Structure 1
Amino acid sequence: MVFFCFLVDQRRTVRSSKPAAGICSRCGGCASVADMETATRVCYLLTVHRRTWRAIICTFCGAMLKSYRHYRLY
Protein backbone atom coordinates (compact mmCIF):
# COMPACT_ATOMS: atom_id res chain seq x y z
CA MET A 1 0.00 0.00 0.00
CA VAL A 2 1.33 3.39 -1.01
CA PHE A 3 0.28 6.56 0.83
CA PHE A 4 1.20 9.95 -0.54
CA CYS A 5 1.24 12.90 1.80
CA PHE A 6 1.99 16.46 0.70
CA LEU A 7 2.45 19.90 2.17
CA VAL A 8 -0.87 21.74 2.27
CA ASP A 9 -0.18 25.13 3.75
CA GLN A 10 2.00 27.21 5.99
CA ARG A 11 0.23 29.84 8.06
CA ARG A 12 1.90 32.80 9.71
CA THR A 13 0.05 34.42 12.58
CA VAL A 14 0.90 37.38 14.78
CA ARG A 15 0.65 36.45 18.45
CA SER A 16 1.46 39.85 19.94
CA SER A 17 3.03 43.11 18.84
CA LYS A 18 4.32 46.36 20.29
CA PRO A 19 5.54 49.61 18.72
CA ALA A 20 9.20 49.90 17.75
CA ALA A 21 11.45 52.83 16.96
CA GLY A 22 11.91 53.40 13.26
CA ILE A 23 10.03 53.68 10.01
CA CYS A 24 9.43 51.41 7.03
CA SER A 25 11.92 51.84 4.19
CA ARG A 26 9.23 51.04 1.60
CA CYS A 27 6.26 53.22 2.54
CA GLY A 28 7.42 55.37 5.49
CA GLY A 29 4.91 53.85 7.94
CA CYS A 30 5.56 53.00 11.58
CA ALA A 31 7.34 49.77 12.55
CA SER A 32 6.37 47.29 15.25
CA VAL A 33 7.98 44.23 16.83
CA ALA A 34 5.75 41.17 16.53
CA ASP A 35 5.91 37.66 17.95
CA MET A 36 5.06 35.42 15.00
CA GLU A 37 4.17 31.76 14.73
CA THR A 38 4.47 29.55 11.67
CA ALA A 39 2.36 26.38 11.53
CA THR A 40 2.98 23.83 8.78
CA ARG A 41 0.17 21.40 7.94
CA VAL A 42 0.36 18.18 5.95
CA CYS A 43 -2.55 16.34 4.30
CA TYR A 44 -5.20 18.83 5.52
CA LEU A 45 -5.26 17.09 8.91
CA LEU A 46 -2.53 17.69 11.39
CA THR A 47 -0.01 20.38 12.19
CA VAL A 48 3.42 18.89 11.84
CA HIS A 49 5.69 21.75 12.81
CA ARG A 50 5.23 24.96 14.81
CA ARG A 51 7.89 27.60 15.14
CA THR A 52 7.78 30.87 17.04
CA TRP A 53 9.95 33.77 16.00
CA ARG A 54 10.11 37.54 16.20
CA ALA A 55 9.94 40.01 13.33
CA ILE A 56 9.91 43.74 12.74
CA ILE A 57 6.97 44.55 10.48
CA CYS A 58 5.41 47.69 9.05
CA THR A 59 2.01 48.53 10.53
CA PHE A 60 0.82 50.24 7.33
CA CYS A 61 1.88 48.02 4.40
CA GLY A 62 2.64 44.80 6.33
CA ALA A 63 6.15 44.37 4.92
CA MET A 64 8.55 42.26 6.97
CA LEU A 65 11.57 44.45 7.58
CA LYS A 66 13.66 42.01 9.62
CA SER A 67 13.14 38.59 11.16
CA TYR A 68 15.12 36.74 13.78
CA ARG A 69 14.78 33.76 16.08
CA HIS A 70 13.19 34.25 19.44
CA TYR A 71 14.18 31.98 22.29
CA ARG A 72 11.88 31.87 25.27
CA LEU A 73 13.26 31.30 28.74
CA TYR A 74 11.05 29.16 30.92
Structure 2
Amino acid sequence: MVCFCFLVDQRRKQTSIKPAAGMCSRCGGGASVGDMKTITRFCFVPVYCKSWKAIICTFCGAILKSYR
Protein backbone atom coordinates (compact mmCIF):
# COMPACT_ATOMS: atom_id res chain seq x y z
CA MET A 1 0.00 0.00 0.00
CA VAL A 2 1.31 3.41 -0.99
CA CYS A 3 0.38 6.58 0.88
CA PHE A 4 1.04 10.06 -0.48
CA CYS A 5 1.16 13.09 1.77
CA PHE A 6 1.06 16.60 0.33
CA LEU A 7 1.51 19.88 2.16
CA VAL A 8 -1.15 22.51 1.52
CA ASP A 9 -1.23 25.82 3.38
CA GLN A 10 -3.02 29.14 3.09
CA ARG A 11 -1.62 32.48 4.26
CA ARG A 12 -3.17 35.93 4.60
CA LYS A 13 -1.05 39.02 4.15
CA GLN A 14 -1.90 42.71 4.63
CA THR A 15 -0.59 44.86 1.81
CA SER A 16 -1.82 48.30 2.97
CA ILE A 17 -3.74 49.72 5.93
CA LYS A 18 -5.76 52.94 6.26
CA PRO A 19 -7.49 54.17 9.45
CA ALA A 20 -11.28 53.81 9.62
CA ALA A 21 -13.98 55.12 11.92
CA GLY A 22 -15.39 52.62 14.38
CA MET A 23 -14.45 50.20 17.13
CA CYS A 24 -13.95 46.46 17.42
CA SER A 25 -16.95 44.63 18.87
CA ARG A 26 -14.69 42.00 20.50
CA CYS A 27 -12.04 44.03 22.34
CA GLY A 28 -13.01 47.71 21.87
CA GLY A 29 -9.88 48.60 19.86
CA GLY A 30 -9.79 50.84 16.80
CA ALA A 31 -10.60 49.69 13.28
CA SER A 32 -8.73 50.04 10.01
CA VAL A 33 -9.38 49.16 6.37
CA GLY A 34 -6.76 46.93 4.80
CA ASP A 35 -6.03 45.38 1.44
CA MET A 36 -5.60 41.65 2.05
CA LYS A 37 -4.05 38.95 -0.09
CA THR A 38 -4.71 35.22 0.38
CA ILE A 39 -2.14 32.82 -1.06
CA THR A 40 -2.78 29.07 -1.24
CA ARG A 41 0.28 26.86 -1.73
CA PHE A 42 0.49 23.19 -2.68
CA CYS A 43 3.86 21.55 -1.93
CA PHE A 44 5.47 25.02 -1.49
CA VAL A 45 4.27 26.17 -4.96
CA PRO A 46 1.72 29.04 -5.05
CA VAL A 47 -1.33 27.82 -6.97
CA TYR A 48 -4.00 30.41 -6.08
CA CYS A 49 -3.88 34.10 -5.14
CA LYS A 50 -6.84 36.34 -4.25
CA SER A 51 -6.94 40.03 -3.28
CA TRP A 52 -9.73 41.53 -1.17
CA LYS A 53 -10.51 44.35 1.31
CA ALA A 54 -11.31 43.90 4.99
CA ILE A 55 -12.02 45.94 8.11
CA ILE A 56 -9.52 44.80 10.73
CA CYS A 57 -9.12 45.53 14.45
CA THR A 58 -5.80 47.28 15.11
CA PHE A 59 -5.49 45.79 18.62
CA CYS A 60 -6.51 42.10 18.39
CA GLY A 61 -6.22 41.63 14.58
CA ALA A 62 -9.74 40.20 14.13
CA ILE A 63 -11.38 40.57 10.72
CA LEU A 64 -14.61 42.45 11.40
CA LYS A 65 -15.98 42.57 7.84
CA SER A 66 -14.64 41.48 4.46
CA TYR A 67 -15.37 42.80 0.99
CA ARG A 68 -14.58 40.37 -1.81
Q: TM-score, normalising length from structure 1?
A: 0.81
Q: What letter matches 1:64 in structure 2? A: I
TM-superposed CA distance for 1:6, in Å, is 3.8
Pair 1:28–1:14, CA change in 2 (3 A): same
The answer on 1:12 being equivalent to 2:12 is yes
Deviating above 4 A after TM superposition, structure 1's stretches of 4 or more consecutive aligned residues are none
| Equivalent residues of 1:5, 1:43 under 8 A apart | no
TM-superposed CA distance for 1:35, in Å, is 0.1
TM-superposed CA distance for 1:43, in Å, is 1.3
1:72 maps to none
TM-superposed CA distance for 1:17, in Å, is 0.5
Between 1:5-14 and 1:27-36, the stretch displaced more is 5-14
TM-superposed CA distance for 1:7, in Å, is 5.0
* Percent identity between the two aligned chains: 71
TM-superposed CA distance for 1:8, in Å, is 1.5
| Unaligned residue ranges in structure 2 (runs of 5+) | none
1:61 maps to 60
2:35 maps to 35
TM-superposed CA distance for 1:5, in Å, is 7.2
Deviations 1:28-60 (A, max 9, x none): 10000000000000012x100000000000000
Across the aligned residues of Structure 1 and Structure 2, the Cα RMSD in angstroms comes to: 1.3
Q: TM-score, normalising length from structure 2?
A: 0.88
Q: How many residues align?
A: 65
2:37 and 2:5 map into 1 onto residues whose CA distance is 23
